[in-house]
Structure 1
Amino acid sequence: MSMGVFWFRRDLRLADNPLLAKAANECDRLLPLYIDDPGEGTEWAEGAASRWWLQHSLASLNRELNRRGTRLSVRRGRPSEVLPKLVQTLGAERVYWNCRYEPQALVAERNTLAALRLLGCRGESGRASLLTIPESSGKPDGTPYRVFTAFWRARQRAGLDLDVRPAPARLPPPPHLPDEVIDLPLPGQWSDKFSAHWEPGERPAERRLQQFIEDGLGVYPGCRDFPARAGTSRLSPHLHFGEIGPRQIVAAVQAWAAESGQESAAESFLRQLGWREFAHHLLYHFPETPNRPLDLRFERFRWASDYGKSLTAWRRAETGFPIIDAGLRELWETGWMHNRVRLITASFLTKNLLVPWQEGAHWFWDTLLDADLANNTLGWQWVAGCGADAAPWFRIFNPVVQAERFDPQGDYVRRWLPALRRLEGKKAHQPWKSDCSRTNYPPPMVDLKTTRERALLRFRKLPKRGTRN
């Protein structure tokens, strides 16, 4: 009787998981396993918000496994230690898992594979989290891409894998093991609010995709930048935890486009998946970038030396600029922030306040439900101007101008800032100009013009050259 272990990682789903189907076909008994590794990622260990999602996602996955005659086993420790012990206990011949491409995850995978080989156990890895394989996604000359458009065009020319397989109807029974219940530590009470906005799990992810295709995809290009509208898919946490796969999304969107004839809207949305692929491409080839700028010139950039109070005010949504404070309040209440608002808040922190981008990246990492190391790194380096295909260093988002353009009636800021609900229309974006009492809302913490000029002066002093070769 053949015995196997399927190690779930960032693929917490049964559909579009080819290696799980293979494991089910090859094994008479199969142990579905999740390993909670407290040391994974060191300083980039999972943030508080992500832990909330993870616990609920694992519970949802276990329910789906129960429906197919098996159950999820959860263990805590380093995979290179946990898996060999299980293999010896069970007499397992094979261990299956899907690759992750974060630096620490790759190290864990290599160490685990080496430990399994010493036992004569076969380890097999698959690809289920990305459309492309980062180690083979470079230019024809072997160097990595640094410009998104060139990267995405090359991926589209090569063709995207759209072989989406359904979830297995049944899975092999699990081996007999003593019950071991592991409760993942959750963040503080603030995370209790998340359940009012989100439902983790594979089936909720599929429903959200279908609803977006039916109600939002056709208007996506014109609505995606307006935070007061339901103009985005909000699939990012589901996608991060692998409750839905990118192949599933691409296949469903392309099928809709073929039927509706709205190829432009479909391409606009799929381009965002392309940015996710690009982020993982960059992280794989430049694994130091979560902490260091890709553009080496920025290692000499003169950030503010004493920024503690500024950073605290930004985190607490007390900057005095409504669009920024509304975004940070949305983040605290829901574990998510609209992408346009993410750009505005990040620009203000790094350019108007001159706080190092790593500080913002760490805050987002801890508070975002969709905290993804590759996407988080790409986003912050893009805004700061020090990453691949980054925004020009002289591009500094004016939060008032951005708010008036993308929240023209002030609906978004009033939703999250009760102190401004008496201000009508665009008045909500500049409350300091209103006669309305703003006792409960702070004045602007900085002058936008002065801080913009200060940032531009420091940017101009950067060396002309110094990017990585």
Structure 2
Amino acid sequence: MTESTSVMWFRDDLRVRDNPALRAAAEHGGPIVCLYVLDDESPGVRPLGGASRWWLHGSLTALAAELGEIGLSLTLRRGPAAEVVRAVVDETDAAAVFWNRRYGEAERAIDTDLKSFLKDERGLDVRSFQANLLAEPWTVQTGQGGWYKVFTPFYRAVTSLPEPRHPLPEPGDEDSPALHHRRLPSDELDSWGLLPMHPDWAAGLRDRWTPGSAGAHERLDAFVHGGVGAYPDEHDLPAEDGTSSLSPHLRFGEISPFEVWHAVERRRARAPKDAAGASAFLRQIVWREFAYHLLYHLPSLGTKNMREEFDRFPWEEPEAAELEAWQQGRTGIPLVDAGMRELWTTGVMHNRVRMVVASFLVKNMRVDWRVGERWFWDTLVDADPASNALNWQWVAGSGPDAAPYFRVFNPELQASKFDPHGEYLRRWVPELGTDAYPEPMLDLKESRKAALEAYATIR
């Protein structure tokens, strides 16, 4: 067993449990450098939005503590990722580098070039692993060997694959070798300025969330044992705590989809009454897989209309005051305002309401979906490059698997159906029904008619 140093490069996998790259570093033997690189500089890599940066601070804090419990330490560096990793390899004379795979185009290019340099030119042991998707995008193919553009056949294909692998134990257990860390000079996390200061707008995020693996597993356990059975009935009700709230934890890799999948399957086996809920929830996990499948094959998912006819759509250029009214929840449309206020306060929005506020922006206001995508990217703690883009294109009708153009969500009907007692509205719009609440910024019926006329021009 070699005693040479290995580098474990953390990215969107900020966990110790079920981390195959970390497991490989432990099995390699010798000292381990656990490295995280904040990369706001590499071409094509999209910097995190404000809410995600807040989450990252908490997640890295939790990861450092987790690593400390198994005898490892976390090194923080900032800069172009490939340059930083190469510098750390030179600094430590490392013989091996391990990481878990990413699926965005720019990130894949960085990884491919770095792997080629370190492995082919320098002779290092460089290995990457599948850790954050149940099925990697190139492994799910149509009968003709192509990729899927529609969710339902993709879902059938994924669920017909062999059972996802079981989660790996964390390094440092009785079956793995003893761990040794190599401490390097590290940035102070606070020096990265990830937390908002003036003003500090994160109070609601702190009240709502506990970033890190411990918080992720707490949420998973609570959902599996208390919520999954009611999921089909409650997941569309914004006033209820009917969803798993795992999306930011999955986004930052604090918990793996393998852990989630098998925890839900165990519940299904032990509690047949929860089987329908388990199936409905796991379908949402596969929707996340579908988003990454599309991002891999359509790298411009977040920036280009996937249906070219939408390049001719007559989007309106909103007045600054109109866009701010939508962003700040002052449209005079109660369900839209409730959702946008929930987003600003907590960093998330109920999925049913996300569809409503997105439809209102792109169809009633006729604002380009990319404007909304950018706002969500900055304000969501679960802002995900694949899911965020896919969901906006779905609502706009411009995606490969999208809502029909004539489907315009009516916020009033949606509120009466999914918040019949007004609990969600009262929670987030307490001034509703008073003179303090603004008049509607537009007429829902007339704006729907105008939207359909605009869509007719590109059909």
TM-score band by shorter chain is over 0.9
TM-score by length of 2: 0.95
Contact map agreement 1:102 1:287 (CA 8 A) in 2: yes
Secondary structure of 2:99's partner?
strand
Give the drift of 1:172: 2.1
Secondary structure of 1:209's partner?
helix
Is 1:142 matched up with 2:145?
A: yes
Instruction: For 1:1-150, list aligned pairs within 5 A.
Output: 1-40=3-42, 42=44, 44-117=46-119, 118-150=121-153
Give the drift of 1:84: 1.2
Contact map agreement 1:132 1:155 (CA 8 A) in 2: yes
Give the drift of 1:412: 0.3
Contact map agreement 1:6 1:20 (CA 8 A) in 2: yes
Is 1:185 matched up with 2:227?
A: no
Among residues 388, 393, 404, which one is paired with 1:381 in the alignment? Answer: 393
Closer/same/farther in 2, CA of residues 419 and 43 from structure 1, 3 Å limit: farther
Residue by residue over 1:150-199, the C-alpha shift from the partner in whole angstroms, topping out at 9 and shown as x without a partner, is: 00100111123132112123662222433542433225311233111100
Closer/same/farther in 2, CA of residues 307 and 381 from structure 1, 3 Å limit: farther
Residue number in structure 2 paired with 1:396: 408
Contact map agreement 2:397 2:404 (CA 8 A) in 1: yes
Instruction: For 1:5-404, list aligned pairs within 5 A.
Output: 5-40=7-42, 42=44, 44-117=46-119, 118-169=121-172, 172-183=179-190, 184-188=192-196, 189-261=200-272, 262-404=274-416
Q: Which residue type is aligned with residue 214 of structure 1?
A: H
Residue by residue over 1:68-117, the C-alpha shift from the partner in whole angstroms, topping out at 9 and shown as x without a partner, is: 11110011111211111111111101100001111221122123223323
Contact map agreement 2:37 2:77 (CA 8 A) in 1: yes
Q: Which residue type is aligned with residue 438 of structure 2?
A: P
Among residues 412, 421, 445, which one is paired with 2:441 in the alignment? Answer: 445
2-side partners of 1:216 and 1:110: how far apart?
41
Secondary structure of 1:107's partner?
helix
Closer/same/farther in 2, CA of residues 211 and 100 from structure 1, 3 Å limit: same
Give the drift of 1:40: 4.8
2-side partners of 1:333 and 1:182: how far apart?
24
Give the drift of 1:136: 2.2
Contact map agreement 1:41 1:105 (CA 8 A) in 2: no
Secondary structure of 1:186's partner?
coil
TM-score by length of 1: 0.93
Residue by residue over 1:237-279, the C-alpha shift from the partner in whole angstroms, topping out at 9 and shown as x without a partner, is: 0011000000001100001001111322111000000100000
Secondary structure of 2:201's partner?
helix
2-side partners of 1:215 and 1:176: how far apart?
42
Closer/same/farther in 2, CA of residues 449 and 60 from structure 1, 3 Å limit: same
Residue by residue over 1:225-247, the C-alpha shift from the partner in whole angstroms, topping out at 9 and shown as x without a partner, is: 00000100101000110000000
1-side partners of 2:117 and 2:319: how far apart?
46
Secondary structure of 2:359's partner?
helix
Closer/same/farther in 2, CA of residues 265 and 106 from structure 1, 3 Å limit: same
CA-based RMSD = 1.4
Contact map agreement 2:141 2:148 (CA 8 A) in 1: yes
Q: Which residue type is aligned with residue 10 of structure 2?
A: F
Secondary structure of 2:431's partner?
helix
Contact map agreement 2:172 2:179 (CA 8 A) in 1: no
Give the drift of 1:2: 1.9
Contact map agreement 2:52 2:381 (CA 8 A) in 1: yes
Residue number in structure 2 paired with 1:425: none
Secondary structure of 1:190's partner?
coil
2-side partners of 1:292 and 1:179: how far apart?
39
Give the drift of 1:306: 4.2
